[in-house]
Amino acid sequence: MPITLTCTWNPRGETPRLINLYPQLVETYLGIIIILPPNADLAQIDPLKIMDNVTLEFSPEWSWGRYLALKKALETDAEHIHYADLDRLVRWVETQPAEWHRTVTFIQHCDCVVIGRTEKAWNSHPQAIRQTETISNQVFSHLLDKSLDLSAGSKGFSRRAIEFIMANTQPGRALGTDAEWIMLAHRGGFHIESLLVDGLDWESADRYQDRAASKETQLQTAQNYDAQAQNWELRVQVALEIIQSGLDAIKRDVKHP
């Protein structure tokens, strides 16, 4: 069953690592779609333009990125679609390639898969992220009566599920899609699966590095992140957006494509 990878990516030095992983990615996916912010660093993008089966597109507004990622994926022939934040995916394929392969296979047997983090992966994140995302996760886990980690930046869908989601959503609240997509899939009658993986540990410590950061570097970077009050404020706002978007998806009138 063919599967397409569709991503959003704000390049922060990952290009050489992505190029190294390209053979593995094109062997696994029917095609690769990358949605970029309007002000993305062109020097980091140019090397990718000559790659076969890679589609690059700039979003008119960065908040539209995830919406466009699903929209473009429907233009392919794929029966299943793997959405991922590309910086997270790069680390995952580098550090846990067998687990990543198993996950891609699992997606192709489901309508909707929330790919979450094991306790080991969770422990690599700053407290500002762990404490706030725990709140949004608990809200929707309770509503769906299923333990879910919504904000790990990776999900899998069948074409039918994405057609329903796209018929009932609009671009705008990018991070809110963590909950919105899943609640819409639920309302469309699609079964929600959960899969926890080690490979979605914290990726931000990798920025502008030539390889995935070590656990020690992750820990130090996480401590530095938590030491800045504005990061806590940001993560509270992110959690609020996720909760509001998910609750809005429950209340809105939906249509079947």
Structure tokens at 131: 């404490």
Among candidates 185, 186, 193, 178, which has minimal Cα distance to 243?
Answer: 178
Question: 177 lies in a domain?
Answer: yes
* pLDDT score at 257: 82
145: left (phi over 0), alpha (psi -120 to 50) or beta: left
Segment 213-236 mean pLDDT:
97
| pLDDT tens figures, 41-74 | 999 999 999 999 999 999 999 999 999 999 999 9
Question: 92 lies in a domain?
Answer: yes
| pLDDT tens figures, 159-194 | 999 999 999 999 999 999 999 999 999 999 999 999
Inform me whether the pLDDT recorded for 107 exceeds 70. yes
Inform me whether the pLDDT recorded for 1 exceeds 70. no
The DSSP bridge partners found for residue 84 are 7, 154
Give the integer Cα–Cα distance in Å for 234 and 145.
28
Segment 98-104 mean pLDDT:
98
Question: 195 lies in a domain?
Answer: yes
Q: Which long-range contacts (CB under 8 A, 24 or more apart) does 27-32 make?
A: 28/3, 28/101, 28/104, 29/3, 29/4, 29/5, 29/53, 29/82, 29/104, 30/2, 30/3, 30/4, 30/76, 30/77, 30/78, 31/4, 31/5, 31/55, 31/76, 31/78, 32/4, 32/5, 32/6, 32/7
Question: 148 lies in a domain?
Answer: yes
Among candidates 76, 77, 81, 78, which has minimal Cα distance to 6?
Answer: 81
Inform me whether the pLDDT recorded for 207 exceeds 80. yes
Question: 65 lies in a domain?
Answer: yes
What residue numbers bound the domain in which 114 lies?
Answer: 3-251
Q: Give the angle subtended at the CA of 12 by the CAs of 10 and 14, to the nearest 5°.
A: 100
Question: 158 lies in a domain?
Answer: yes
Inform me whether the pLDDT recorded for 152 exceeds 80. yes
Where residue 80 sits, what CATH number does that domain have?
A: 3.90.550.10
Number of domains in the chain: 1
| pLDDT tens figures, 30-47 | 999 999 999 999 999 999
Residue pointed to by tokens 């076969």: 52
Segment 248-255 mean pLDDT:
95
Question: 257 lies in a domain?
Answer: no
Segment 197-225 mean pLDDT:
97
Question: What kind and span of H or E run contains 157?
Answer: strand 154-158
- What percent of the chain is predicted at pLDDT more than 70? 100
Question: 256 lies in a domain?
Answer: no
* pLDDT score at 94: 98
Length, in residues, of the chain: 257
